[in-house]
Amino acid sequence: MIPVKKVGFVVNRTIPLAAEVAAQAEALLQERGVVICHATDGQEGADWSKHDQLNLIFSFGGDGTILRAARSAAPLQVPIFGVNMGRVGFLTEINPDLLAEKLPLVLDGRYWVEQRAMLHCELWRDGREIHWFRALNDVVASRAALSRVVDCTLVVNGHKVTTYVADGVIVATPTGSTAYSMAAGGPILHPELRNIVVTPIAPYLTILRSLILPGDNQVELNITTDDEAFMTVDGQAHVRLEDGDVLRISIAPDACLFARIQPRSYFAATLTARLRRTE
């Protein structure tokens, strides 16, 4: 790997300790002559471009902070190194107490790069695309809190599969298979796979539960509702859905890259321990 000379910082400043640890990391990086480019408060809208020539993006927060960082990092093909300031840390790499010890390894380029598929989702209404989104975890079409069920017709590669009458439908990546999809009864996939997982939420009278599709498949959800419904992207972006809306979902062209210093077998080795943190 190329030694790290210029990095981006994404900091969840709603966590006081995250700002403190980020400041400590910044001091260590500056001692090594590394240039730091800050995102604005760790929120959407980091305006980095390929011209910035970042070698790495540091994320200080929980998994939600990484989900935000991923949408800026993936198009740049710059790896994310996550410092866990949250509770579960499925996506992060190290805890803050190891940062000073492990940082020299990262700066010398002694890490491996993990590739995780992202989703590209388009929202079509009245025959035209009105929004598009990237997601590292999932895209969810669901009813509002007090609404009735929503009908979601699943179409794969132009062929109707089924119509779910349900609280909603989750379309997830392998990364997202350990999130909402798992909670709804979906399977866990290894994060380096390139599959799409479709899981209904509390479906009514259906024999088809989770469906695992190849990464080159095209998925559509056709929405039928006479009540409130919403699309949620990575649990962060929320868009109201209308009757007749269509979500077109596929694997995004750019994977999200993660800088890892753990052994390549870390996912299987730590999966049970990480899941227990969610209890």
Where in the sequence numbering do the catalytic residues fall? 63
Instruction: Measure Cα distances from 138 to 94, 96, 226, 258 in Å.
Output: 24, 27, 24, 18
What does the chain come to in residues? 279
What is the token pair recorded at 163?
A: 């119509």
> What is the layout of strands, in order, in the sheet containing 256-260?
35-38, 6-11, 56-61, 80-84, 256-260, 112-116
Distance CA 222, CA 228 (A): 15
Four-point Cα dihedral 150, 151, 157, 161, nearest 10: 130
Four-point Cα dihedral 23, 28, 34, 39, nearest 10: -20
